[in-house]
Structure 1
């Protein structure tokens, strides 16, 4: 099997289509001016494809270097696609306060008066955000939630219950966004209170 087949001049002259450079590296041209580098990886009959960047922004040499690194990871039993997803998730760490705001925006249309009265956010702004608002939502567990609502659980039971329910909705919203959260945290916190 040949590899390092493509050259810059050849890539420039090629029409739209898929072109192999070898060792699983492909140039997928959408039109004569732009394309996408794709690396195909196969193990145990499972084939994965990952993008390596846009051509000509990513040169052939850069695409080959990236492909070689990802093939090494694949050979060592590491899935580079999963690793890239994990690093993206880590980079987009959402705090509890940001997740609450995002959940509120998503649910606003369902609320009376589009949530303008502030009743939905009030228990969260008063009791949750000041205590655990800066915590990454992926780190929120039943113990941290219990600590936040414990002081008001008996004195302001209604507000505490609303806060826990809305944190539960927020966790479900964060999970829908693709974040790895503990969906049982609110239920477990309730059991501890």
Structure 2
């Protein structure tokens, strides 16, 4: 049984290897066959689902928000697939393996299962690009075996737009949580950029949210400008004395107010609606009480519309139109809901 040639294999390593394989032989096992089995196992390990998943993620990182550092791209696989199939060579995985792995969450955690299936499809395509013999239809076949999900998505409860002014009036006390809630309602932004707002992001009547805090946007070139109404500026001025380490809404210890701060406020008031639902309230107001074009109304919420080609040519973010609508929304909130207008011409 050859151990390897000098100088690739040193004399000391040759003696160690020889001792190891003599011990294997002394136990009645075949050293040559055992070494071949280890080599096969090493080759299989190199094409395991876990290894290919890591490679696919590395290749795709540049397309993900913040280079995927938040870990959300991998989490469905890490939580529900890799613990069962991670060590299995991807060339050995078929639709039945995928079905059996995702069946426990297919109906109960449908969104997570859907994301895991989509990620698996990407990993299989990556493996095929490397020349590995994989079944690119394995995920589609697994979906057919699993059937249609019975899960019914639940929408976040939203307050009817006509009721928002009355709620807004109850937030007059300038506490940190009240001020944060008021700015959330006024701007229609999501909770995360609101909680992490920094004073240096505000310039005049514009708040620029870094792209990394915007859902569905990637990179600094996707920063989002939020027009600020006079009422929004008033709220910000009231919050400035609370600011710490550059954050407008810090918590009592370190960092910023938690994601649950505003939700618990509404729970304590026995309200079904949740903070994120105010985005729906604003969108419904835009549709029912204004004549805002669809593209402008969607831009108010930071949504992207049309294809990438259309957006490449239409580079406006409708800031001026959104600013006018933001002022009208603030007037509506501050007036107790008495100002309901259809168009600027009717004001």
Specify the TM-score bucket, using the shorter chain as the normaliser: 0.5 to 0.7
Q: 1:161 aligns with which of 111, 114, 117?
A: 114
Q: In the TM superposition, what whole-angstrom CA distance separates every residue of 1:104-141 from its partner, at most 9, and x where no partner exists?
A: 00000000000000000000000000011111000010
Aligned to 1:146: 99
Q: Distance in 2 between matches of 1:138 and 1:169?
A: 14
Q: Distance in 1 between matches of 2:135 and 2:48?
A: 14
Aligned to 2:61: 108
Counterparts in 2 of 1:1-193, with a 5 A limit?
91=43, 93-193=46-146
Q: Distance in 1 between matches of 2:43 and 2:106?
A: 35
Which structure features the higher share of helix residues? 2
Q: CA shift at 1:148, angstroms?
A: 0.6
Q: Which runs of 4+ in 1 moved over 3 A?
A: 90-93
Q: CA shift at 1:169, angstroms?
A: 0.4
Partner secondary structure for residue 72 of structure 2:
coil
Partner secondary structure for residue 97 of structure 2:
helix
Q: In the TM superposition, what whole-angstrom CA distance separates every residue of 1:46-81 from its partner, at most 9, and x where no partner exists?
A: xxxxxxxxxxxxxxxxxxxxxxxxxxxxxxxxxxxx
Q: In the TM superposition, what whole-angstrom CA distance separates every residue of 1:63-102 from its partner, at most 9, and x where no partner exists?
A: xxxxxxxxxxxxxxxxxxxxxxxxx9x9465001111111
Aligned to 1:19: none
Q: Which runs of 5+ in 2 are unaligned?
A: 1-39, 147-347
Aligned to 1:4: none
Larger relative contact order (CA 8 Å, sep ≥ 6): 2
Q: How many positions carry a matched residue from both structures?
A: 106
> TM-score normalised to the size of structure 2?
0.30
Q: Distance in 1 between matches of 2:43 and 2:64?
A: 32
Alignment RMSD: 1.8
Aligned to 1:40: none
Q: Distance in 1 between matches of 2:43 and 2:66?
A: 35
Q: Distance in 2 between matches of 1:135 and 1:91?
A: 12
Q: CA shift at 1:188, angstroms?
A: 0.2
Q: Distance in 1 between matches of 2:63 and 2:121?
A: 17
